[in-house]
Chain A
């Protein structure tokens, strides 16, 4: 068997277990107030950490990335949903890089 398929299966197996185990093992509500609060904050913190400064390096120029970040924050703050916020960010980058 091609060695590449073994690699792929290992990657797939680990990726799956790490995601499915907590969801299938923790079937009860966690009682600890600390853990509850911790898990409440985790999603927002992870996404915020992954967004900045990474967005500055995602585009061809850090300027367009920064402007997209700013526009995206404004759009989301004033109630734009996922799709609209994403479109605003893409549009800003496209326009800004057109002129840069």
Chain B
């Protein structure tokens, strides 16, 4: 039906996705390896660890879940904690919904939703114009198996990777975050100032009493909502401006 959304028309963007998925996959390997250790401690088998990561695609959410499984928590509690730890994906999903071509076939929305992670969202949103699902699929092709198998490996092998390598790998994710929000900060003074505010507020929240007692997931949600709402009130965007920064 819709030729622009057939795979044949999107092979080059798919390959671009694969390329950008490689650093994500490397970062995922390191992070999911340690997640696998947590899964093993919760009494899960390597296959169950693999299944969790293949289905959930969430670092903080899975980690929180494994901790509760280890404590034999109630099902409802697991559901609630998963909801809170992953609440930022709700915001990301809302943000993505505004960047979808109205002509895009509906089923792509389901798959795009299934694979919203911090990193895959970050690279998708950093591209200009409407989201292209094939870009995300390319990245998923590399990143998702790394995540799932890394978790299984962690559950099997525990601490086999040298600490030095784990340490170096673990900043790959943050490097990718930087590559997403630094370029717009260079283009827009508002975004630049916003990033400084975010760093400062996030630093304070991590160490101030009361706030530092909250989980990292809840702090992220609170800060995201407060700072974004403040910015939207003080610096509302107009459409022409948006077109410029999206290019």
- Partner-B contacts on A (CB < 8 A): 4-16, 18-27, 29-30, 33-55, 58-60, 64-65, 68-69, 72-73, 75-77, 79-94, 97-98
Contacts and interface: CB of A to CB of B under 8 A. Distances in A.
A55 to B, nearest CB: 4
Given A43-B92, A52-B203, A89-B175, A10 B75 contact: yes
Contacts of B88: 46
A53 B208 CA distance: 13
From DSSP, what is the main secondary structure of chain B's interface residues?
helix
Nearest to B182: A76
B113 A26 contact: no
Nearest to A90: B168
B198 A15 contact: no
B1 interface: no
Given A15-B89, A34-B236, A36-B98, 4 more contacts: A15-B55, A33-B238, A34-B233, A98-B164
B169 to A, nearest CB: 6
B174 A48 contact: no
A19 B224 CA distance: 17
Nearest to B246: A40
B48 A49 contact: no
Contacts of A73: 178, 182
Nearest to B139: A82
From DSSP, what is the main secondary structure of chain A's interface residues?
helix
Interface in B190-247: 191, 194-195, 198-199, 201-203, 206, 216, 219-220, 223-224, 227-229, 231-233, 235-238, 242
Contact of A11 (B19, B78, B97, B198): B78
Given A60-B163, A76-B183, A40 B52 contact: no
Nearest to A7: B69
Contacts of A83: 19-20, 22-23
Contacts of B55: 8-9, 11-12, 15-16
A82 B168 CA distance: 16
A47 B122 contact: yes
Given A45-B224, A93-B168, A21 B175 contact: no
A49 B82 contact: no
B65 A89 contact: no
27 contacts: A4-B48, A4-B69, A7-B75, A8-B55, A9-B55, A11-B55, A11-B82, A18-B83, A18-B93, A20-B110, A21-B90, A37-B232, A37-B236, A40-B95, A44-B181, A45-B194, A45-B228, A49-B223, A59-B167, A60-B167, A68-B174, A69-B178, A73-B178, A83-B20, A85-B176, A86-B27, A98-B164
Nearest to B44: A4
A15 B178 CA distance: 25
